[in-house]
């Protein structure tokens, strides 16, 4: 049974802190852009959205600001989030001439009801005919191929940009979950702090992200790697290049990665014994962009003693799961949205 009707032009959106992905029913992923909006503050108009706006971060003239409207997995700026959502929904509607779509948006599990209403409102104002919410860990679990509808425990750890969502799912419902504000962004910030502390060098978050992706790891790697990075020397004030090693970045990431491990352990401690035993058999599934951090699976395995698997396309799990949920929604949550907000 479909969430809406079988012929509708439904879209699913992963409204992420770092990236927004849009899935069009029958087509797959049609938009994959950073969640960034550049605003001209002279007339409050939107100058650019997505990749084009991301390129402007840290490089804008005074009257243009590049903003990430979602922070720590929640909506930090409602109006800009709304503009972004409108832009993406209109992109899809315009290019594919689908008329007014019905929209399913995934939000982090820590999102308050007020924020959920704000997202629904934004989707409706962006031209959606109907809008519904799906919780991110549920979407991630479906997208990672876990058997969420079965009477067996599945565990998902979705490491995004702003939040890590950890959940135990059984029979189509979230049994226990935790949303922690340590994920990809905190990894980047930790690298910025490390370089500042140890080298007196100021680097930007984009450089830190490049370092994380190139030589970052959560677990000691077999071969040591190194990378040159450029920043501003805090003593002389001049540009300077230094070399950092993978061992140093492992050390820099210890704290934010440790917070995720603590979250996983405390969720396991709260898990009912029958489900815990299922998870011992089936293991923990890791998704989200942060699942790409080298060695994250090895570390979780070592710290929990459970089997751990990285999802096939970690960055796509949430939107693919939300997309699948468009078709399977009745099995997951039987509360129809009837024109007004309802969970």
Ligand X SMILES: Nc1ncnc2c1ncn2[C@@H]1O[C@H](COP(=O)(O)OP(=O)(O)OP(=O)(O)O)[C@@H](O)[C@H]1O
Binding-site positions: 17-19, 161-163, 209-212
Per rule CB under 6 A, is residue 109 in the interface with ligand X? Answer: no
Residue 12 contacts residue 322 (beta carbons within 8 Å): yes
Establish if 162 lies at the interface with ligand X (CB under 6 A).
Answer: yes
Nearest to 200 by CA among 226, 231, 228, 229: 231
Q: Which stretch binds ligand X (CB under 6 A): 49-57, 94-102, 141-149, 177-185?
A: 177-185
Instruction: Report in angstroms how near the CB of residue 136 gets to ligand X at its nearest.
Output: 6
Q: Which is nearer to ligand X, 167 or 275 (CB)?
A: 167
Q: List residues forming the annotated binding site for ATP.
A: 17-19, 161-163, 209-212
Taking residue 312's Cβ as centre, other Cβ atoms within 10 Å add up to 12
Specify the residue, 164 or 176, whose C-beta has the smaller distance to ligand X: 164
For residue 311 the two structure tokens come to 């999802």
CA distance 270 to 301: 18
Answer for the pair 271, 153: CB distance below 8 angstroms, yes or no.
Answer: yes
Which of these, 286, 55, 33, lies nearest to 159 by C-alpha position? 286
Q: How far is the CB of 340 from ligand X (least distance, A)?
A: 26
With CB under 6 A as the contact rule, which of the stretches 15-23, 37-45, 244-252, 299-307 interacts with ligand X? 15-23
Task: Pick out residues in 126-145 that bind ligand X (CB under 6 A).
Answer: 136
User: How far from the centroid of its chain's Cα atoms is residue 255's Cα?
Assistant: 20
CB closer to ligand X out of 47 and 186: 186
Binding residue (CB under 6 A) for ligand X from 264, 315, 326, 332: 315
Nearer to ligand X, 9 or 212 (CB): 212
Query: Which residues, 6 or more positions from 173, have their beta carbon under 8 angstroms from its beta carbon?
Result: 332
Per rule CB under 6 A, count of chain residues that contact ligand X: 26
Q: How far, in Å, CA of 335 to CA of 339, rounded? A: 12
Q: Which residues, 209 to 248, sit near ligand X by CB under 6 A?
A: 209, 212-213, 216
Which of residues 115, 135, 185, 278 is near ligand X by CB under 6 A?
A: 185
Residue 238 is classified by DSSP as: S
CB atoms within 10 A of CB 181: 18
Rounded to a whole number of angstroms, the minimum distance from the CB of residue 32 to ligand X is 9
> Is residue 161 part of the contact set for ligand X (CB under 6 A)?
yes
Contact (Cβ atoms closer than 8 angstroms) between residue 165 and residue 108:
yes
């Amino acid at each position: 049974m479909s969430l809406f009707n079988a012929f509708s032009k439904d879209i699913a959106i992963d409204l992420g802190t770092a990236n927004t992905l849009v899935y069009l029913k029958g087509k797959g992923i049609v938009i994959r852009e950073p969640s960034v909006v550049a605003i001209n503050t002279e007339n409050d108009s939107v100058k650019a959205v997505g990749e084009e706006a991301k390129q402007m971060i840290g490089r804008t003239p005074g009257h243009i600001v590049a903003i990430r409207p979602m922070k720590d997995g929640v909506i930090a700026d409602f109006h800009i989030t709304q503009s972004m959502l409108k832009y993406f929904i209109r992109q899809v509607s315009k290019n594919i001439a689908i008329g007014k779509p019905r929209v399913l948006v995934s939000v982090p599990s820590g999102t308050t009801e007020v924020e959920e209403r704000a997202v629904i409102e934004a989707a409706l104002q962006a031209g959606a005919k109907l809008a519904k919410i799906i919780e991110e860990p549920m979407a991630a679990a479906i997208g990672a191929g876990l058997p969420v509808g079965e009477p067996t425990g599945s565990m998902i750890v979705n490491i995004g940009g702003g939040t890590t969502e950890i959940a135990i799912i059984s029979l189509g419902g979230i049994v226990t979950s935790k949303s922690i504000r340590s994920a990809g962004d905190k990894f980047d910030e930790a690298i910025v702090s490390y370089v500042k502390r140890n080298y007196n060098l100021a680097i930007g978050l984009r450089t830190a992200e490049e370092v994380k992706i190139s030589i970052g790891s959560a677990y000691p790697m077999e071969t040591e790697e190194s990378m040159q990075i450029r920043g501003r020397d805090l003593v002389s004030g001049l540009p300077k290049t230094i070399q950092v090693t993978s061992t140093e970045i492992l050390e820099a990431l210890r704290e934010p990665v440790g917070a995720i491990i603590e979250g996983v352990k405390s969720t396991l401690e709260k898990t009912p014994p029958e489900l815990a035993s299922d998870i011992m058999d089936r293991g923990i599934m890791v998704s989200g962009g942060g699942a790409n951090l080298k060695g994250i699976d090895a570390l979780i395995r070592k710290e929990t003693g459970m089997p751990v698997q990285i999802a096939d396309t970690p960055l796509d799990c949430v939107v693919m799961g939300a997309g699948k949920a468009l078709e399977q929604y009745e099995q997951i949550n039987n509360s129809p949205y009837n024109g007004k907000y309802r969970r």
